[in-house]
Amino acid sequence: KISMFTNVTNNDVFSCHDVDSIFQVPQILYQQGLVDVIFKKFNKMGYVNASQNWDTWNKIVNSLQNEGETISIAMVGKYVTLADSYVSVNHALKHAAASIGKKITIDWIDSETINGNVDALSKYNGILIPGGFGTRGSEGIIKTANFARERNIPYLGICFGFQLAAVSFARNVCNHTDANSTEIEKNTKNPIIDLLPEQEGVTDMGGSLRLGANEINVKPDTIANKIYGQDKISKRHRHRYEFNTKYLDEFAKKGMVFSGESDNGRRMEILEIPSHKFFVGVQFHPEFNSRPGYPEHVFKAFTVAANQN
């Protein structure tokens, strides 16, 4: 019927019916011969052995669908009413869990509502703070980061989660009780997070963030170096504010290490607390480097730590 009404030959019509996972879609299309048809259409005979490639993909799909033990993650953020707001982070966690033979459950928790009930986070194997902007819900994120640090619960902070983890540390460990980000409180006396120098005077907010891939130096003998296994990495960014390096020495004395930096040490990219089970924050967005079968390194390290918690 489809062939008749679309002027497409019968052999070129393929069924893409409902499946349990989107990762099964390539499998069912391959089984119907779609790859052969495409290569014939483009006169590409003698293409690479597809069956070998599909063995790898089948293993990936099986790992993503495994029924193993479950790791529970609390994702505390500002835009949780729409789960797809963090779709890249969600998938990065699933890739990481599958790589160690586990399933993952993610509870999306509104950072505006967590303030009075932060103890509810104690039941989770790990806590993740994704990216975000602005004042709303920021106090809930700061309290969440402090709760994870005090209770020794594995914590991963991404972008805004990196920044407010630093603010939380300043308030609760360095005794700067008024510490904040100038994005949240412009006139704070302790601007732990401040505007990027090149953003001074920028009035057009559209497309003027620090964007794209940047090279990061990872210090030796740090958690970050063990995670990435190399001294240089390239990661994608999207931010307007950064850690204020005036506080570097003070943070170091109190036990927080900045293990990744860029622009010849001008910008802090990775923070960690070596004495903690796993407390890592990254200014960049590692979720954009995660793929099925190839989880991004910091997500895998976080998931392993959460599994052991």
Domain shared by 196 and 117, yes or no: yes
Domain shared by 142 and 39, yes or no: no
Domain shared by 12 and 114, yes or no: no
Last residue of a domain, one of 63, 85, 116: 63
- pLDDT value of residue 96: 95
d(CA 127, CA 144): 8
The 3-class SS string of the chain reads CHHHHHCCCHHHCCCCCCCCCHHHHHHHHHHCCHHHHHHHHCCCCCCCCHHHHHHHHHHHHHHHCCCCCEEEEEEEECCCCCHHHHHHHHHHHHHHHHHCCCEEEEEEEECCCCHHHHHHHHHCCEEEECCCCCCCCHHHHHHHHHHHHHCCCCEEEECHHHHHHHHHHHHHCCCCCCCEECCCCCCCCCEEEEECHHHCCCCCCCCCCEEEEEEEEECCCCHHHHHHCCCEEEEEEEECEEECHHHHHHHHHHCCEEEEEECCCCEEEEEECCCCCCEEEECCCHHHHCECCECCHHHHHHHHHHHHC
d(CA 117, CA 197): 37
d(CA 127, CA 111): 12
207 burial level (CB within 10 Å; 0-12, 13-18, 19+): exposed
Domain shared by 151 and 15, yes or no: no
Give residue 25's pLDDT band: very low, low, confident or very high (50, 70, 90): very high
Domain shared by 29 and 86, yes or no: no
- pLDDT value of residue 202: 54
- pLDDT value of residue 48: 56
Residue 234 and residue 214 in contact, taking contact as beta carbons nearer than 8 Å? yes
Q: What is the pLDDT of residues 62-93, one digit of tens each?
A: 888 877 789 999 999 988 888 788 999 999 99
Residue the block writes with tokens 């030959």: 9
Give residue 205's pLDDT band: very low, low, confident or very high (50, 70, 90): low
Residue 1 and residue 13 in contact, taking contact as beta carbons nearer than 8 Å? no
Domain shared by 136 and 258, yes or no: yes
Last residue of a domain, one of 36, 63, 90: 63
- pLDDT value of residue 206: 53
Domain shared by 87 and 146, yes or no: yes
d(CA 129, CA 76): 5
Q: What is the tally of structural domains in the chain?
A: 2
Q: What is the pLDDT of residues 235-256, one digit of tens each?
A: 999 888 999 999 999 999 999 9
Give residue 273's pLDDT band: very low, low, confident or very high (50, 70, 90): very high
Domain shared by 48 and 168, yes or no: no
Domain shared by 161 and 235, yes or no: yes
Query: Mean pLDDT, to the nearest integer, of 8-36?
Result: 88
Domain shared by 54 and 185, yes or no: no
Query: Mean pLDDT, to the nearest integer, of 36-50?
Result: 68
Q: What is the pLDDT of residues 137-150, one digit of tens each?
A: 899 999 999 999 99
Give residue 58's pLDDT band: very low, low, confident or very high (50, 70, 90): confident
- pLDDT value of residue 191: 96
- pLDDT value of residue 4: 83
Domain that holds residue 7: 2-63
**122 has pLDDT over 70:** yes
Last residue of a domain, one of 19, 35, 63: 63
Domain shared by 175 and 293, yes or no: yes
Q: What is the gyration radius of the CA atoms in the chain, in angstroms?
A: 23
Residues labelled as active-site residues = 159, 285, 287
As a whole number, the mean pLDDT across the chain is: 90
Most confident of 19-28, 97-106, 166-175: 166-175
Domain shared by 18 and 120, yes or no: no
- pLDDT value of residue 60: 81
Q: For the chain, what percent of residues have pLDDT higher than 90?
A: 64
pTM for this prediction:
0.89
d(CA 23, CA 206): 35
Residue 28 and residue 19 in contact, taking contact as beta carbons nearer than 8 Å? yes
d(CA 51, CA 56): 9
